[in-house]
Amino acid sequence: MDYSYVAYTEENKIINGAIGASTEKAASDYLVKQGYRVLSLKEKKPLSLSLGNFFSMGKKVKQDDIVLFAREMATLIDSGVSVVTALELLQGQATNEKMGSVLNTVISDIRSGQRLSDAMSKHNDVFSPLFCRSLSVGEQSAELSIVLNQIAEYMEKDSVAKKGIKGAMAYPLVISVVAIAVITVLVYGVFPTFLGLYSVLGAEVPLLPRILLGIVDVAKVIMPYLLGALVVGIIGIMVYIRKPSGRYMWDKLSLRFPLLGRIMLLRELSSCCRTMSLLFRCGLPLAEIMDVVIDAGGNTVIKGSLADIKKAVFKGEGLSKPMSRNPYFLPMMVEMVKVGEETGELDKTLMTVANNYDTDADGRTKAMIGIIQPAMTLIIGGVVFFIVVSMFSIMYSIYGQVQF
């Protein structure tokens, strides 16, 4: 396999190139033996060997790619490499072609006199406003590498938080799909075969199979209408929530869902606190922080509440006082913000709140799944049991008639 690398020579010069080796460790060991200090080492995947790369230009750059870029950029800048040189090295190693293309454009814009943050802000589908605003502060304070590491840390924690509930819901979803498939095969494949024996014998079908047969007959009639109504309902909801008023009502309703609503609120507040903490550490003024936090928010109800707090901030009320008047900001968050304002360590208290809310949300998610899984097992097991008992009743009834 081929690996691309960025390394220091013994004369402390940055070089990049490619090397063939059986494993990544073998490549690293070889470079070390040559007297190089490795900064970055990645496997090269030729376009011809990866069909996925053929379509990569139209794909969204993953958050993990941005995290890796931020960390490697920080390492190179810490090593004394200029911004343009660092970007060129990372652009040459980019495995995602869209990312490579964007970096190429950014390099051109910087060479024409633009700042890094301004050049990246043109690509908001790759670099978020939060990312670019933080970079701008880092450029002004000459602490670009520190800010890049902070952004990477923020994005990693945010990614873990967002994936939490998706990962937890994967198991129940898979079980549901498999159960529906099994039930469908039993009802529409196996069950009619048993009923066919009764038609041959001209005997009366037992009670349980008749009940199941009636349910199946009714389902055959109403199922197309139910599926049609479901499709129309989903499309209608999607169209409705695309409107500002519809999105607001949907977001407000989602925060009131049993079990899930509290988890969604905790995730939203955690993201809000983590974003504010990052920007405070970067040295951004509170008024500007509020703008970025509002833009980065996902739930329009919370964004509206933050907009109200922003107005109060401009009036000199601070953060904790207007938060205490809004029911969406939980007491712990309000108290910790108050402590942070009094001690001058708002970034630390906000990060503490974010971590606590993430832990709370994870616990609630596991508890919710713990409730869903047994309920699903009982429901699915009950349906399968009813079908199997119906089939056995047919078998025993046929056996009795044959004996007779």
User: How many independent structural domains does the chain possess?
Assistant: 2
DSSP secondary-structure letter at 170? H
Domain holding 204: CATH number? Answer: 1.20.81.30
Measured CA to CA in angstroms, residue 218 lies from 25, 55, 190, 191, 222 at distances of 64, 46, 18, 16, 6
Q: What is the pTM of this model?
A: 0.66
Give the span between the Cα atoms of 108 and 125, in whole angstroms: 18
Torsion of CA 40, 45, 51, 52, to 10 degrees: 0
Q: By residue range, what is the domain housing residue 170?
A: 162-404
Rounded mean pLDDT, 322-350: 89
**What per-residue confidence (pLDDT) applies to 58?**
45
Q: Is the pLDDT at 63 greater than 70, yes or no? A: yes
More confident residue, 164 or 345: 345
**What per-residue confidence (pLDDT) applies to 232?**
92
Q: Is the pLDDT at 47 greater than 60, yes or no? A: no
Residue 19 domain-assigned?
yes
Residue 101 domain-assigned?
no
Site of tokens 């712990």 = 332
301 SS3 class: helix
**What per-residue confidence (pLDDT) applies to 194?**
64
Q: Same structural domain for residues 168 and 317?
A: yes
Confidence of residue 14 (pLDDT cuts 50, 70, 90): low
Residue 134 domain-assigned?
no
**What per-residue confidence (pLDDT) applies to 169?**
66
Q: Poorest-confidence range of 107-111, 204-208, 270-274?
A: 204-208
Number of other CB atoms surrounding residue 192 within 10 Å:
11
For 351-393, what is each residue's pLDDT tens digit?
A: 899 889 888 888 888 888 778 778 877 887 887 787 777 777 7
For 89-119, what is each residue's pLDDT tens digit?
A: 888 777 778 888 888 888 888 888 888 888 8
Residue 271 domain-assigned?
yes
Residue 347 domain-assigned?
yes
Q: Poorest-confidence range of 22-26, 155-159, 161-165?
A: 161-165
For 117-149, what is each residue's pLDDT tens digit?
A: 888 888 888 888 878 888 887 777 767 888 888
Q: Same structural domain for residues 33 and 166?
A: no
**What per-residue confidence (pLDDT) applies to 53?**
44
**What per-residue confidence (pLDDT) applies to 56?**
44
Report residue 8 as tokens. 């220091």
